[in-house]
Amino acid sequence: MKIEVMDLRFLGEREIIASYLLAGDSSAAIVETGPTTCMQNLLGGLKERGVAPEDVRQVLLTHIHLDHAGASGHLADALPNATFYVHEVGYPHLADPSKLLKSATRLYGERMEELWGEVRSVPEDRIVALKGEGEELEAAGGVLTAHDTPGHAYHHLAFHEPGSGMLFAGDVAGIRLPGMSYVRPPTPPPEVDVAAWVRSIQGIRRISPSVICPTHFGRFEDVERHLSELEQRLQDWLLFVEERLDGGSSREEIAAELKDKGDAEMLAEGSGTQDSGRYDLAGNYEMLVAGIARYVTRRQEGA
């Protein structure tokens, strides 16, 4: 099996959203579709690599957020032989995206169309719901294992390909752009659960992949360093946001402070603020603070 990263060129920018191509001898699979706005780039990427749309038999989705799975409905037509694999909790939203779109519209407002484009439903007979931990599925002449990895979203899966040692990590392994070491936790509302996320990171350590492939973006081999940085930053952000909320800061103030802190950390490792701006395309501070603030409130209400 040959594995390649396809750059979907989100908003015309390089290396923000990836789709992974798994090419076998007689069939192919992809992990993540990207949004509808990138679909022509995805289909172009397949063509460039000599993969006919009919050859794609599996589309594996880490979760149903629009930057990862938004093009699925359109691709059900464009990839006529593909079956879509998704966590069982995500399944209803793939078959009928109306609730998902309502929730996304609350976050993205009038930018919905520009960012994600039209979202269509996937016919139910084209979807396989995965029950979660340890489930195996055949793809591109190999067998991948799905791992339950909640934290960014409850219905999040990561897919492990044992031949290459790659873990297609969706958002559970954070945002990290090529050439960078900085890992930014994608923590948008509404489902962020830091405690579950930390347990998922532990779970990834047990899988012990040799390469980690976040959808934002690429492949990284310093797995343990990457995971510890993510874990520490999640804990750090949680404390930071909680403390500022208790102190009466507004979300905007917290987001500005967290950005300054993040930019300083990136500068310290030799990157510039242009890199921070590129990370924003996969998750900006206003949104990430809103997600953590929501987790903090939910936890306080639950306690």
Q: Spell out the SS3 assignment of 36-80.
A: HHHHHHHHHHHHHCCCCHHHEEEEECCCCCHHHHCCHHHHHHHCC
User: Rounded to the nearest whole angstrom, what is the least distance from the CB of residue 104 to Zn ion in the complex?
Assistant: 12
The span of 35-43, 129-137, 166-174, 226-234 binding Zn ion (CB under 5 A) equals 166-174
How many angstroms from the chain centroid is the CA of residue 179? 19
CA distances from 256 to 51, 177, 235, 259, 285 (A): 45, 22, 19, 5, 8
Q: How far is the CB of 155 from Zn ion (least distance, A)?
A: 13
CB of 163 to Zn ion, least distance (A): 26
Stretch that binds Zn ion, among 7-15, 164-172, 218-226, 286-294 (CB under 5 A): 164-172
171 binds Zn ion (CB under 5 A): yes
Number of residues that bind Zn ion (CB under 5 A): 2
Contact 94, 123 (CB under 8 A): no
Q: Which is nearer to Zn ion, 51 or 230 (CB)?
A: 230
Closest of 173, 291, 201 to residue 238, by C-alpha: 291
Q: Which residues, 17 to 76, sit near Zn ion by CB under 5 A? A: 67
Q: Closer to Zn ion at the Cβ: 74 or 152? A: 152
Cα diameter, the chain:
60
CB of 17 to Zn ion, least distance (A): 7
Q: Which is nearer to Zn ion, 63 or 259 (CB)?
A: 63
* Min CB(214)–Zn ion separation in Å: 9
Q: Residues interacting with Zn ion, by CB under 5 A?
A: 67, 171
